[in-house]
Amino acid sequence: MILVTGGAGFIGGNFVLDWLANPSAEGVVNLDKLTYAGNLATLQSLEKDARHIFVHGDIADCNLVLSLLNKYQIRAIINFAAESHVDRSIHGPADFIQTNVLATFNLLEASRTYWSELAQKNQQNFRFLHVSTDEVYGSLSSTARPFSEKNPYEPNSPYSASKAASDHLVRAWYHTYGLPVLTTNCSNNYGPYHFPEKLIPLVIMNALAGKSLPIYGDGQQIRDWLYVKDHCAAIRRVLENGKTGEVYNVGGWNEKSNLDVVNTICSILDELRPKTDGAPYAAQITYVKDRPGHDRRYAIDARKIEQDLGWRPSESFETGIRKTVQWYLDNQDWTEGVLSGAYRDWLKKQYS
Ligand code: NAD
Ligand code: DAU
């Protein structure tokens, strides 16, 4: 079996669903603390699938992790568990240091203990795949080359600094102890089951609710958008064929400004769900105070994963964003469940 951490979150949830969509796939032990971002409704379709074992717990709990590794004879760990939202890290960095740094250290230690006691063949086959972000590389100027695996780390937010720290720990556990690790640094994801504190789901849901669509600063910041299912495919590819100790950058070759992203969503909604008063959704756009230390541009050079492992994204931004908007229109049960929870308190704190 494999151990997925943070598998009730956005990317982890999509990963577990996609993994188990393959009838011959190994089972998944899914360890998640169920913070505000963890949502079991995402995994509802697996309720009767005996190959999915959900465990409510913290990756910081070494005893729990070790007992799961031993009980299920885990052959790979895919670590998605993290605090993931930049704005929250600005309001309260402590949780980010706790989970992204200290708890990742505990997870590495539990993994090392388990791995060091495995028989030689199982030791060779074992993998610890750490899912990280392009934000560790800092911000690019408009003319700079996209981030390659060789770019220096220059994190600018408490979130990206905490992820950078976790990447360094993972690297050190490979070089010092020989733990067979893999690290992926990915650009901005979007798609189904995305928690609406992040730009794309926030804009879709606010637009439909007749609320304002908040653009930080001038809206000219650039992100490299990747459809989440492409990211999940990249992780599977790295897990199977990646070289231990290596880092793989994963990106969509889809650089867009925030304003372009929001306008695209508005036009798709104008077409799929026109407003009864005939007004365009873009009329709801509002410019708000910028994020402190807001990184201007991210872009990924994804040539290494393509050349070494043959992975390329299958969705363009245009196809992926259309699927995403349609998913939110078709899955209002999921979004209403989210809206009735802690999300509302967060909205008040961030935008009032
Ligand atoms: P998310 O916030 O949607 O989900 C995180 C999940 O981790 C939640 O289910 C939460 O309950 C769980 N969790 C948090 N702390 C935990 C702990 N201590 N123990 C166990 N579970 C815990 O995040 P996401 O957007 O799905 O991101 C997943 C990973 O991918 C993160 O490591 C993030 O840094 C990375 N990443 C995200 C993006 C993106 O665009 N969302 C891009 C690149 C990399
Ligand atoms: O680059 C990968 C990263 O992408 C991941 O590591 C993070 O976990 C993930 O949250 C995401 O970080 P961003 O900060 O880029 O994503 P977010 O959706 O919060 O913001 C995207 C852009 O939109 C960013 O430039 C800020 C802007 N924004 C965001 C919100 C929520 C707005 O203009 N208005 C908003 O209301």
| Residues listed for the chain | 352
Residue 157 in contact with ligand 2 by CB distance below 6 A: no
Q: Which atom of ligand 2 is nearest to the CA of 258?
A: 23
Ligand 1 centroid to residue 203 C-alpha, Å = 20
Spell out the per-residue pLDDT of the chain, length 352, in tens: 999 999 999 999 999 999 999 999 999 999 999 999 999 999 999 999 999 999 999 999 999 999 999 999 999 999 999 999 999 999 999 999 999 999 999 999 999 999 999 999 999 999 999 999 999 999 999 999 999 999 999 999 999 999 999 999 999 999 999 999 999 999 999 999 999 999 999 999 999 999 999 999 999 999 999 999 999 999 999 999 999 999 999 999 999 999 999 999 999 999 999 999 999 999 999 999 999 999 999 999 999 999 999 999 999 999 999 999 999 999 998 998 898 875 556 556 766 6
Substitution site in 85, 86, 200 for ligand 2 pocket (most atoms within 8 Å of beta carbon): 86
Residue pair 62/68 in contact (Cβ under 8 Å)? The answer is no
What is the distance in A from the centroid of ligand 1 to the CA of 107?
Answer: 15
The pTM of this model reads 0.97
Residues 228, 192 contacting (CB under 8 angstroms): yes
| Inter-CA distances, 344 with 205, 336, 347, 350, Å | 13, 11, 5, 10
- Catalytic residue positions, numbered: 134-135, 159
Q: Which two tokens stand for residue 341?
A: 């929870």
Report the residue among 15, 29, 35 best suited for mutation to probe ligand 1: largest number of ligand atoms under 8 A from its CB. Answer: 35
* Burial of 21 (C-beta count, 10 Å sphere; 0-12/13-18/19+): exposed
Backbone angles phi, psi at 222, to 5 degrees: -115, 135
* CATH 3.40.50.720 assigned to 2-194+227-253+294-313: yes
How far apart CA 221 and CA 256 sit, in angstroms, is 8
DSSP state of 76: E
DSSP 103-116: IHHHHHHHHHHHHH
Atom 44 in ligand 1: which residue has the minimum CA distance?
133
Which pair of tokens denotes residue 317?
Answer: 């931004």
